[in-house]
């Protein structure tokens, strides 16, 4: 082949290249435009989704609220999800009985009237067996034999006396519920009910989210919310920060029944004092300057029972509380006192330019489905009015 031919062919090849490049560029441009269009659509869709952040100290009931949202405004738990809670619920039983047995032994050594915490010899043997199981990382499924042992230990007067001191022993709130349902929990074909799932206690690690509308899945046109739940224990709180941007409302859970209890992770710290300090810290975050705050004074059902026996003044924050008449009147009086303390903290911790942000307080019991549903509809209505400027 002559040099001239090579040059001509080379020129021809060079001349055809822009044509093929134009086709490739057109394809790429079409792809890019499609991606941009989808991003724009997703961005517009995201603009209609309101971001809610569920915060609070450990054991405040946040995760129960989260599960209620799934039950109330989504399709609930399918059979696979329900079955996944079996091991959690059985673990709760073993952990509870271990806490109570070990607690009885400890109280028998330190309390003046130690005889109240001494178990019968037979029950001591059962207690050692169950305490050993409760210390494992993997627990056997409950069966009739194990349930008989758990029930026998639970009914021992020493364990019941220890249970009455549960606030100093980290006894979970679900203890009584699961102990009342032992036979059902041990059935061979046991399938947890939604009530069981709501009572089940498992600590939240990391971040979980759920998207919902208070109108429910079947109804269109309602506001859409994306709720984020994060672990409340101290070692989980570092994960909160990256979620703080772009939040429409913070739902802060405060377990008002825990005024006489100490933290799981620090037994020198009163839980209510920890909640107070945490609420104060969250209120002062710069990124929440215009963010709505919804305060859930949670676990009112437990508070209602406890206030009749344990004075509010055992908590440093409530030391100036003066009780009134016993009964329902005292419950309301104590609740209003606690509510006022949180209101004062809110206004003390909010800069003058932040006091006009939406702030609402709700009395809640996370296990009460009707109350939770009503509360979220009120939140939806409040936020809607705020957006409309009314």
CB 262 within 8 A of CB 269: yes
The range of the structural domain enclosing residue 148 comes to 79-199
Same domain (yes/no): 322, 363: yes
Q: Is residue 37 part of a domain?
A: no
Please check whether residue 33 lies inside any domain of the structure: no
- Are 101 and 74 part of one and the same domain? no
Q: What is the pLDDT of residue 236?
A: 67
Q: Is the pLDDT of residue 274 over 60?
A: yes
pLDDT of amino acid 31 = 63
What CATH code is carried by the domain that includes residue 242? 3.40.50.300
Q: Phi, psi at residue 69, to the nearest 5°?
A: -60, -45
pLDDT at 114: 87
Tell whether residue 156 is among the known ligand binding residues. no
pLDDT at 52: 94
Model confidence at 118: pLDDT above 90:
yes
Q: Is 198 annotated as a binding residue?
A: yes
Residue 358 pLDDT: 87
What's the average model confidence in pLDDT over 274-290? Answer: 91
The verdict on 313 and 211 lying in the same domain is yes
Among the candidates 199, 230, 247, a domain finishes at 199
Question: Among residues 156, 173, 223, 229, which one is catalytic?
Answer: 229
Q: Are residues 130 and 143 in the same domain?
A: yes
Q: Write down the pLDDT at residue 173.
A: 94
Q: Which residue has the tokens 């839980």?
A: 271
Q: What is the pLDDT of residue 35?
A: 57
Q: Is residue 23 part of a domain?
A: no
pLDDT of 19 above 60: no
| Residue 233 annotated as catalytic | yes
Domain count, the chain: 2
Residue 228 sits in the same domain as residue 340? yes
Exactly one of 196, 201, 354, 364 is catalytic; name it.
Answer: 201
pLDDT band at 350 (very low <50, low <70, confident <90, very high): confident
Q: Is 204 annotated as a binding residue?
A: yes
Choosing from 199, 231, 252, the residue where a domain stops is 199
**pLDDT per residue over 62-101, tens digit each?**
999 999 999 999 889 999 999 999 999 999 999 999 999 9
Mean pLDDT of the region 359-365:
96
Query: If you average pLDDT over residues 14-29, what whole number do you get?
Result: 58
Residue 9 in this model has a pLDDT that exceeds 50 = no
Binned at pLDDT 50, 70 and 90, residue 223 comes out as: confident
184 labelled binding-site residue: no
Assess whether 116 and 240 both reside in one domain: no
Q: What is the pLDDT of residue 355?
A: 64
Q: Are residues 219 and 356 in the same domain?
A: yes
Cα torsion 179, 181, 187, 192: sign: negative
Q: Which residues contact 376 (CB under 8 A, 6 or more apart)?
A: 69, 72, 73, 214
**Residue 23 appears among annotated catalytic residues:** no
Q: How many residues does the chain have?
A: 390
Please check whether residues 184 and 272 belong to one and the same domain.
Answer: no
Q: What is the pLDDT of residues 136-174, one digit of tens each?
A: 888 999 999 999 999 999 999 999 999 999 888 989 999
Instruction: Read off the pLDDT of residues 83-94 as tens digits, 9 standing for 90 and up.
Output: 999 999 999 999
Q: Which is the catalytic residue, given 59, 156, 173, 196?
A: 59
Q: Is the pLDDT of residue 217 over 60?
A: no
CA-to-CA distance for 71 and 77, rounded, in angstroms?
Answer: 7
* 298 annotated as a binding-site residue: yes
Is 32 within the bounds of a domain?
no
What are the percentages of helix, strand and coil residues in the chain, rounded to 5? 60, 10, 30
Residues 318 and 257: beta-carbon distance below 8 Å: no
Q: Indicate whether 342 and 208 sit together in one domain.
A: yes
User: Which listed residue (233, 234, 260, 369) is catalytic?
Assistant: 233
How far, CA to CA in Å, does 329 sit from each of 63, 353, 362?
31, 37, 19
Note the pLDDT tens digit of each residue in 291-307.
999 999 999 999 999 99
Would residue 28 count as lying in a domain? no
79 is catalytic: no
Annotated binding residue at 103?
A: no
Q: With respect to residue 243, please indicate whether it lies within any of the assigned structural domains.
A: yes
The enclosing domain of 178 has a CATH number of 1.10.400.10
Closest among 372, 354, 317 to 339, alpha carbons compared: 317
* pLDDT for 272 beyond 60: yes
Token pair 């519920």 is at which residue? 177
Of 199, 218, 238, the residue at which a domain comes to its end is 199
Residue 202 marked in a binding site: yes
Write down the pLDDT at residue 218: 47
Domain presence at residue 18 = no
- The predicted pLDDT at position 171 comes to 94
183 is catalytic: no
Q: What average pLDDT does the chain have?
A: 86
Two tokens, residue 229: 């739940």
Specify whether 59 is catalytic. yes
Answer yes or no: do 192 and 229 share one domain.
no
pLDDT value of residue 15: 43
In a domain, 134, yes or no: yes
pLDDT of residue 137: 84
pLDDT value, residue 384:
82
Q: How many CB atoms lie within 10 A of CB 39?
A: 10
Residue 332 corresponds to which tokens in the numbers above? 């309301």
Q: Are both 159 and 69 inside the same structural domain?
A: no
Show the beta-strand stretches assigned E in the chain. 49-56, 207-212, 224-230, 249-255, 292-298, 359-363
Tell me which of 213 and 336 has the higher pLDDT.
336
Who wins on pLDDT, 46 or 14?
46
**Amino acid 3: pLDDT:** 43
Q: What is the mean pLDDT of residues 102-128?
A: 93
What mean pLDDT do residues 175-182 have? 97
61 assigned binding-site residue? yes
pLDDT at 324: 85
Query: Is residue 122 located within the same domain as residue 66?
Result: no
Residue 221: the pLDDT is 52
Please work out, in degrees rounded to the nearest 5, the angle formed at the alpha carbon of residue 25 by the alpha carbons of 20 and 29. Answer: 155
């Amino acid at each position: 082949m002559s040099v001239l031919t090579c040059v001509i062919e080379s020129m021809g090849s060079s001349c055809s290249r822009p044509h093929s490049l134009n086709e490739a560029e057109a394809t790429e441009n079409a792809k890019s435009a499609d991606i941009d269009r989808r991003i724009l659509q997703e961005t517009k869709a995201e603009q209609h989704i309101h971001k809610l952040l569920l915060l609070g100290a450990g054991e405040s009931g946040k995760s129960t609220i989260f599960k209620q949202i799934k039950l109330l405004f989504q399709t609930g738990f399918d059979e696979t999800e329900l079955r996944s809670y079996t091991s959690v619920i059985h673990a709760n039983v073993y952990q509870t009985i271990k806490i109570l047995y070990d607690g009885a032994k400890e109280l028998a050594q330190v309390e003046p009237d130690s005889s109240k915490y001494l178990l019968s010899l037979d029950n001591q043997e059962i207690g050692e067996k169950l305490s050993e199981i409760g210390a494992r990382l993997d627990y056997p499924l409950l069966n009739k034999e194990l349930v008989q042992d758990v029930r026998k230990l639970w009914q021992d007067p020493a364990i019941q006396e220890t249970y009455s001191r549960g606030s100093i022993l980290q006894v979970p709130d679900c203890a009584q519920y699961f102990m009342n349902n032992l036979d059902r929990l041990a059935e061979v074909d046991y399938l947890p009910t939604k009530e069981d799932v709501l009572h089940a206690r498992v600590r939240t690690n990391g971040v979980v989210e759920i998207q919902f509308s208070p109108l429910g899945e079947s109804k269109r046109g309602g506001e859409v919310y994306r709720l984020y739940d994060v672990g409340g224990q101290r070692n989980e709180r570092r994960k909160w920060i990256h979620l703080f941007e772009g939040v429409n409302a913070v739902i802060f859970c405060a377990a008002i029944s825990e005024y006489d209890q100490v933290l799981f992770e620090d037994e020198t710290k009163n839980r209510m004092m920890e909640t107070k300090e945490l609420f104060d810290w969250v209120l002062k975050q710069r990124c929440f300057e215009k963010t709505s705050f919804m305060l859930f004074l949670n676990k009112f059902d437990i508070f209602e029972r406890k206030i009749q026996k344990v004075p509010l003044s055992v908590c440093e924050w409530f030391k100036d509380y003066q009780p009134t008449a016993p009964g329902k009147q005292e419950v309301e009086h104590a609740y209003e006192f606690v509510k006022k303390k949180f209101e004062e903290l809110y206004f003390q911790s909010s800069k003058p330019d932040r006091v006009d942000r939406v702030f609402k307080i709700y009395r809640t019991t996370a296990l009460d489905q009707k109350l939770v549903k009503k509360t979220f509809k009120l939140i939806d209505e409040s936020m809607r009015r705020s957006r409309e400027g009314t």
